[in-house]
Amino acid sequence: MHEFEGVYISGQWRPSAGPRMTVASPANGEVLGHVTEATSLDVADAVDAARAALEHGPWGRTTAAERAAAIGRIADHIESRSAEFADLVSAEVGSPRRWASFGQIATMLGVLRTYEKITADYEFESIRPSVMGGEVAVRQLPVGVVGAILPWNAPLFTAALKIAPALAAGCTMVLKPSPEAPLAISLMAEAIEAAGVPAGVVNIVSGDVATGEALVAHSGVDKVSFTGSTAAGRRIGAVCAADIRRCTLELGGKSAAILLDDLDLDAKTIGSLVGGVMSNNGQVCAAQTRILVPAARYDEVVDALGAAVAALKVGDPADRSTDVGPVINRAARDRIEGYLQRAGTAGARFVVGGTRPTSPEAGWYVTPTLVADVDNTMEIAREELFGPVAVVIPYTDEDDAVAQANDSDYGLAAAVWSADRDRARRVGSRLRVGTVAVNSAAPLDFGSPFGGFKNSGIGREGGPEGIASYVEAQSIIL
């Protein structure tokens, strides 16, 4: 049982008048622990603490090298307890434990280690000649106090994508974890303390929608960084725009995987394609859920994918042989099942799945599902289900594949699969998305920018571009 009473402000857990929140396993309903729902007064105290640490504490006087070292020490502590963190995040999210070691923990460490390297060399100040004579000193100053709102599907990884560049830039923060997955984030406070990060630089307030709204609306927050649904991101963006405050929004996706006609459909490729949809029980924003296939090879691909999806083991995420665990809660399961029911009514064919599994008896499980006879205009091809469901869509030629991939309200990520890497790169360059993977189900590189076009968000996380989103440029004309 993991108990985190109160709110984490200025380096300590403080009492709060907010109600106690129960965190339960999506696999079986077992109570995993409790946190306290922060009140608006708690949020205000956390913002004030972050402001004091920024303007009056030692953090504002640190060098880039010192901040890089602090990020590295956070990684060191988490790495020393990686099994504990993996067990906890697997339990509260439902991620298969075998996948969690990489998808939840190694990814977080990868981000932290990358920023440990990038920060020390980042150009926070430069001198350039003035076109009017003399010189100009261009400084990159911290944007200020950051309010970071986290999702439940990959809480530690997304926390790292916000904490590392914000600390690198010299900012201070208030973190708000999702009510479905606050435990691993609360445990992370111990890593921050062990790393010697000064009190008030990182504060944690758990809670539901009201807590997040209080954080976004607080006038002392200079920038909001949000990862979550497009609907919530749209509201947050509107609040920030009204006050002319900065925001980064990493939102939804409906990513396409284009299989070109020369692809060698071997077991490794099939396994990667299936993993690109089913990892973390399909609860990945960049999941390649639209698989675009040449019409001439449609049946071949559907059969191969169907066999691989049917072979996936559904079960307890703590069991290291499990491939697919539960979705996060009852509402998520019911919503996914509604999409599947409507797809069937619209004429789609369920190659595998489409029904609720009979085992395990408890928990919020959805059978891994492959849907054929789908066209790109159908609801199931356009909406983000956030579950273990893939659709296979035929195309006529390369231009048609690109057109269908781009015909989406989202533009987060995509992949192109081909025996000819140069050809895949040319096709990928035509896609209106933030990241394109070639022959890979993982459209993410820790040292490169990640984010989306269209309804997939605003701004970028990752790489030097991630730091750039937490600084303000100042010119001093000499």
Same domain for 371 and 268, yes or no, is yes
Q: Is 60 within a domain?
A: yes
Q: Is 451 within a domain?
A: no
Same domain for 277 and 233, yes or no, is no
Same domain for 235 and 304, yes or no, is no
Q: What is the CATH number of the domain that holds 283?
A: 3.40.309.10
* Positions of the chain with pLDDT lower than 50, given as ranges: none
Q: Is 59 within a domain?
A: yes
Provide the pLDDT for residue 442. 84
Domain membership of residue 411 as a residue range? 256-446
Same domain for 20 and 64, yes or no, is yes
Residue type, 315: G
Provide the pLDDT for residue 361. 86
> Both tokens of residue 122?
């980042």
Provide the pLDDT for residue 132. 86
| Residue 274 φ then ψ, to 5° | -65, -40
Prediction pTM value = 0.96
Same domain for 155 and 207, yes or no, is yes
Q: Is 319 within a domain?
A: yes
The total number of structural domains in the chain stands at: 2
Q: For 446, left (φ over 0), alpha (ψ -120 to 50), or beta?
A: alpha
Provide the pLDDT for residue 444. 87
Same domain for 355 and 419, yes or no, is yes
Contact 433, 455 (CB under 8 A): no
Same domain for 197 and 247, yes or no, is yes
Same domain for 149 and 276, yes or no, is no
What would the DSSP string read from start to end of 420-465?
-HHHHHHHHTTS-SSEEEES-S----TTS-B--EETTEES-BSHHH
Q: Is 93 within a domain?
A: yes
184 C-beta neighbours (distance < 10 Å), count: 26
Q: Where are the alpha helices (DSSP H) in 81-154?
A: 82-93, 97-100, 107-121
Closest to 294 in 3D by CA, of 441, 418, 384: 418
**DSSP-derived pairing of the beta strands 172-176 and 145-149:** parallel
Provide the pLDDT for residue 305. 98
**Residues recognised as catalytic:** 250, 285
Place of tokens 């010189």: 135
Q: Is 145 within a domain?
A: yes
Q: What is the CATH number of the domain that holds 180?
A: 3.40.605.10
Same domain for 163 and 277, yes or no, is no
Q: H/E element holding 191?
A: helix 183-194
Q: Is 158 within a domain?
A: yes
Contact 259, 394 (CB under 8 A): no
Same domain for 239 and 260, yes or no, is no
| DSSP annotation of 163 | H
Q: Is 98 within a domain?
A: yes
> Both tokens of residue 444?
């993410």
Same domain for 343 and 438, yes or no, is yes
What would the DSSP string read from start to end of 350-415?
EEE--S--SSSSSS-----EEEES--TTSHHHHS---SSEEEEEEESSHHHHHHHHH-SSEESEEE
Same domain for 313 and 217, yes or no, is no
Q: For 347, left (φ over 0), alpha (ψ -120 to 50), or beta?
A: left
